[in-house]
Chain A
Amino acid sequence: MATQFAFQPQCIVLPANKRVTLRFATPDVIHGILVAGTNVNTMIVPGYVSQVHTVFTKNGDLLMPCHEYCGLGHSQMWATVRVVPEDQFKPGPDGRATCDAR
């Protein structure tokens, strides 16, 4: 979820070498994201849900900034995507796997 001026959650854990589908939405203004070093790049437009399919091939922490002007706080809006090997990907009972990289 992209909001002015932070992503919820600010850090997310994903498995490597598996097909993942990312969905994004925003309750306020236009945002956008890219995940550095990958082909994940999408606009996030209020009123619509964005969906991206991808496979992460390398492990590590990837920077996911907001890349579309969303207001004065845009410069400090970013999140982290933590890609872990498949066997280390253990989501909780509610299906979520968060980290505290920031």
Chain B
Amino acid sequence: MEPARFDELDKPWRKWASIIIGGGLAFSVLMGFLVIPVVQGYGAGIDPWTAICRAVGIAEGAPSMRQPTSDAQAKPTTNVAWSTDLLRALANTSGPGADIAQSCAACHGERGIASDPQNPSLAGQSAVAIYKQLNDYKSGSRVHEIMTGIAQALENDQMIAAAAHFATRTRWAVDPTTAQVRDPDVVRLVERGDPARGLPACNSCHGFSAGGPIETPTLSHQNKEYLARQLRAF
């Protein structure tokens, strides 16, 4: 067959496919962007332009309901708001802060392992976790007779620097006096949680590769007096 006759067979396909598909597209756009929002908005006393803007997504709310206002006040329990800038700063170990971190060692141990069990070991805690606690002490979200005073004397930049430094220095230290947990009930709570009480596995936040909240402290190799006290305080 010659090409001209090929084309005779092909042209109707091109034409009708485009018409049918284009028509379907046009119909859907007309309905979804125009007809349905305007009709819904009419029923709720919303003007057509607002209804269309809401349907398209450039204004808040639904095209079919009035957008309720609220003067509810948030009451956050912490003043820390994570941002990528803050996280970059906490990862920066080359800034100033070595000297402040040094003074932490007085109670928390040179390598983060506290000699007095009244004090928590900070070895293995991330800079993010340390910074969160310092900030909470400063803002009053967390209260401790000694730490509150210390934190309030620090500027935000100093807290960031101290956390970054201390975390790096004490990262791999392990308290040799802590032991492996063997009690099956405890292991069950750690690895499985308790569905009846709605308890997630402790590991789901405090585990090494859990993917939970980034400021979660690690609990392994913490001295047990401190752990017990904190659990009771919570």
Contact = CB atoms under 8 A, between A and B. Distances in A.
> Would A and B touch once assembled, by the CB under 8 A criterion?
yes
B207 A72 contact: yes
Interface residues of A, number: 21
Given A5-B200, A5-B204, A51-B61, A76 B212 contact: no
Contact of B62 (A28, A51, A78, A95): A51
Given A4-B213, A51-B61, A95-B72, A73 B205 contact: yes
A102 B211 CA distance: 26
A60 interface: no
A76 B72 CA distance: 28
A75 B62 contact: no
Interface string B111-124: 00000000000000
Interface residues of B, number: 22
Contacts of A51: 61-62
Contact of A73 (B68, B72, B204): B204
B196 to A, nearest CB: 10
Nearest to B195: A76
B193 interface: yes
Classify the interface of chain A: helix, strand, loop or mixed: loop
Contacts of B200: 5, 72-77
Contacts of A78: 198
Contacts of A19: 65
Interface in B76-121: 82
Interface in A18-34: 19, 21, 27-29
A19 B210 CA distance: 39
16 contacts: A5-B212, A21-B65, A71-B205, A71-B210, A72-B200, A72-B201, A72-B205, A72-B207, A72-B211, A73-B200, A75-B200, A76-B194, A76-B195, A76-B198, A76-B200, A95-B72
Closest 5 CB pairs of A and B: A73-B200, A72-B204, A73-B204, A76-B200, A5-B200
Given A71-B211, A71-B212, A76-B195, 7 more contacts: A4-B212, A5-B212, A71-B210, A72-B200, A72-B203, A73-B193, A73-B204
Interface of B: 61-62, 65, 68, 72-73, 82, 193-195, 198-201, 203-205, 207, 210-213
